[in-house]
Every structure is written in C-alpha cells, then in structure tokens.
C-alpha cells in the first residue's frame, strides 16, 4: 500500500453578491456588501469566489474587511465596467489569468449589461503543502427570458469554451476548483457540457440529492425573489456551483457542501438575491500513486457536443438573419436620408417645420450610423464567435467519434 501524506481541508465559498451599481437596481446594496464583508471576515474560509462586484467602491469595502483574515485577493479586469468577478484567499496567489469569452451578448441591449462586463473565466494559481491548485471563477451570461431565451446560443458557446479552457489548463495543477454563477440549471445543456467535457465533479451532488434544497436563486425564502420567476419556477433554481477535479496523485473528498449566506441576522433581507454555496474539501497527496484513468463518458460527451452544435448553428442562422435585416433597414434609411436631403423647402417655411426637419435628419443619420456599426462590427463579432464555437465543437466531436469507434 502506498504511503500517504497528511490530509488537510479547504473551506471554499462562492457567492453572487448582486452588486449592480445602478440606482434602484439592487436594494440595500451598500448595507448588504458591508454585511457580506463582515461575515466573510469572521469565518474560516480559505478561498472565496465572488461575482457581481461591479463597483470599485464595493470591492474596496470588501478588501477593507476581508484582507484582515484573507490577505490575498485578485479582481479580474475586463470589459468597460470590469468582470465583476474576484477571488479572496488565505493562500498566496502565485499566478493569475483572465480568459475572455468570444461571445458576451449584445452591446445595444444596455438594459442587460453583460456585454459591457466582458464576461469570461478567471484563473488564480495557489499552492499548499506542495499541492498546486487552480481556482477558476466565472459568471456566465444571464437568462433574461425563460420562455424565449435569445442568449441560449451564446451561453452554450460560453459553456463549451469554459470546459475546453479548464480541460487544457488544469493538467498542470494537482487540483482544480471551479466556482461561480453559471446561470445554468443542472438539467441545462451548458452545465452538462462543463461537467462532462471538463471532467469535473459537483460538490453539491457529492453530499446532497438534486432537490429544491440546493436551489440558490429565486427561492421562496429569499426576500429579493421576483414574482414573475416564482410563477414559472415556484421552488427556485440552482445556478451557483462549486466543482472540482483531482489530478494524478491527489485524493479529494467532499467533507460537506451546503447553502450559505441566506438571511442577514437581525435584518429583514438577505445578503443577496442568490444563496452562497460553501464546501469543505478534504485533500491529500498520495506517494507512488498510479495515474487514474480519465473517467469522461465519451458517448455522453458526443451526444452533448451534437446538441451544442445544433444550438450554435441556430444562433448562426439568427446572426445571418439579423445581418440581412440590418442591411435592408440600413439601405431603406439611407435612401430616405438621401431623399430627405434632396428635398427642397419653400423659403416661407415656419420655424417649427425647420426644427422638425433637422430632428428627422439627425435621427436618420444616427440610425444609419448605428445600423452600419451593428452590421459591420457587432454582428461580425457574433458571427465569428459562433462560427469559431461551431468549428471547435465539430473538431472535438470528430475526435470523440473516432475514439468511440476505436474502443
């Protein structure tokens, strides 16, 4: 029997803080962030992964309290407002990197804001007792309409991109820990792709059954749950996850996994509109261990890839349709603008008519500029992103198919 080194535990937390810095968008934001900061500083976490920390003032508030007990932190800068994702750690952060998703929604959907956050996958490297740990943190594109999800192709492409990145970067570490708000239910294709292709294990499922007690968002007992979502999903939904992957020579056991950061003590509201997920990982290195075989289910992965490819192809069809629509609309508006410019006015024209013509002319000019920008820049970014995702999925799909036939 091989000798084993001493076992140690890692206390890990992931929490979506709900910190949109827009007036009236997030209730009690300042008060909640202070409570989150104070509570984390009192606890014995080794690694804390936070999402929706959009405002710099909120991040500084967290630092002010948390760094007293967790002296290392990193914020992943991205987009125009920052990724909103950060990591606090008791272990020294040795390395960090941010991988930007090729697709992040639409820039003109200002009310959604995902595009401006430059969403992606952050990675920090830490180590303890000679064991190197990759910490991955993310916040995938939100689902704004459950009945008609216009971002499903983007989110599936992000999930595949995330699983590929983790698969190819986690080989150099001993343990990979993945946390964040995936905006995916366990039954969604994207979640299955991340877990299967990334060869990851779900901490919650290791210690609990898949039931409503694990739902982290839109719960009945959360003070910020919305009636509209509650109508469609009365028991809430599980969107926040802690996943892990142990490489050769390392044993990992989930000691516990529970929901955390629910209602703030002595307050009528919660820490966030999401519940946090906290897990204790029991880790040890084994000496003279043999390499564990890859446990990826190739047939399951192949089916997931085919389904993902179908959704991405539908997204490509929509992108082509949007391009045609904006092209036609741009031509129509350009013709209208030209005709409007060539139309002469009578000298005895009222001041109101002159102002009205000026407003129409400026509006048409701005509309043509927007349509050209969307067609030539934004639509191309989406089209290339989806095309790249389709090609990458197709490549892996062919490879998996060959391995299945070979076996």
Report the catalytic residues.
274
Dihedral sign for Cα atoms in the order 333, 335, 338, 340: negative
User: What string of DSSP letters covers 276-317?
Assistant: EEEEEEEEEEBTTPPPPPP---HHHHHHHHHHHHHHHHHHHH
Q: How far apart are CA 308 and CA 302, in angstroms?
A: 10
Q: What is the DSSP letter of 140?
A: P
**Which residues are CB-neighbours of 248 under 8 A, at least 6 positions away?**
289, 291, 292
User: What does the longest C-alpha to C-alpha distance in the chain come to?
Assistant: 102
Within 10 Å of residue 81's Cβ, how many Cβ atoms? 16
Rounded to whole angstroms, what are the CA distances from 222 to 211, 217, 261, 276? Answer: 17, 8, 11, 12
Q: How far apart are CA 65 and CA 82, in angstroms?
A: 21
Q: How far apart are CA 226 and CA 237, in angstroms?
A: 12
CA atoms within 13 A on the CB side of 33: 23
Q: How far apart are CA 5 and CA 28, in angstroms?
A: 47
Give the DSSP H/E element, type plus range, for residue 266.
none
Q: How far apart are CA 177 and CA 137, in angstroms?
A: 8
End-to-end C-alpha distance for the chain, whole angstroms: 31
Give the DSSP H/E element, type plus range, for residue 240.
strand 240-246
CB crowding 143-181: b at 16 or more within 10 Å, else e:
beeeeeeebbbbbbbbbbbbbbbbbebbeebbbbbbbbb
Phi, psi of 131 (to 5 degrees): -100, 120
The tokens describing 17, both together, are 């803080």
């Amino acid at each position: 029997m091989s000798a084993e080194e001493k076992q140690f535990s890692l206390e890990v937390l992931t929490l979506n803080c709900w910190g949109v810095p827009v007036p009236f968008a997030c209730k009690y934001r300042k008060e909640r962030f202070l409570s989150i900061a104070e509570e984390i500083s009192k606890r014995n976490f080794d690694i804390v992964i936070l999402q929706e920390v959009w405002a710099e003032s909120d991040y500084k508030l967290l630092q002010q309290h948390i760094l007293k007990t967790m002296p290392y932190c990193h914020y992943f800068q991205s987009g125009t407002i920052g990724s909103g994702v950060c990591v606090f750690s008791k272990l020294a952060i040795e390395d960090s990197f941010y991988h930007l998703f090729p697709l992040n929604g639409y820039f003109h959907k200002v009310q959604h804001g995902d595009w401006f956050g430059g969403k992606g996958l952050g990675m920090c490297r830490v180590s303890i007792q000679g064991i190197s740990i990759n910490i991955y943190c993310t916040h995938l594109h939100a689902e704004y309409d459950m009945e008609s999800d216009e971002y499903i192709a983007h989110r599936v492409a992000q999930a595949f991109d995330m699983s590929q990145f983790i698969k190819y970067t986690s080989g150099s570490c001993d343990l990979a820990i993945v946390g964040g708000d995936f905006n995916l239910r366990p039954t969604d294709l994207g979640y299955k792709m991340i877990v299967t292709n990334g060869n990851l294990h779900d901490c919650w499922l290791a210690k609990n059954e898949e039931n409503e007690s694990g739902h982290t968002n839109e719960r009945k007992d959360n003070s910020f749950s919305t009636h509209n979502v509650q109508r469609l999903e009365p028991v809430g939904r599980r969107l926040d996850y802690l996943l892990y992957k142990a490489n050769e020579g390392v044993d990992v056991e989930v000691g516990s996994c529970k929901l955390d950061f629910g209602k703030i003590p002595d307050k009528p509201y919660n820490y966030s509109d999401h519940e946090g997920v906290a897990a204790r990982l029991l880790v040890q290195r084994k000496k003279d261990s043999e390499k564990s075989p890859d446990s990826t289910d190739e047939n399951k992965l192949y089916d997931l890839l085919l389904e993902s490819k179908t959704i991405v192809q539908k997204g490509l069809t929509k992108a082509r349709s949007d391009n045609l629509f904006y092209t036609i609309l741009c031509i129509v508006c350009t013709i209208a603008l030209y005709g409007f410019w060539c139309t002469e006015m009578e000298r005895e024209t009222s001041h109101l008519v002159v102002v009205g013509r000026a407003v129409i002319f400026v509006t048409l000019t701005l509309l043509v500029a927007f349509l050209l920008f969307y067609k030539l820049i934004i639509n191309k970014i989406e089209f290339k992103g989806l095309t790249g995702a389709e090609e990458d999925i197709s490549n892996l799909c062919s490879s998996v198919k060959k391995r299945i036939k070979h076996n």
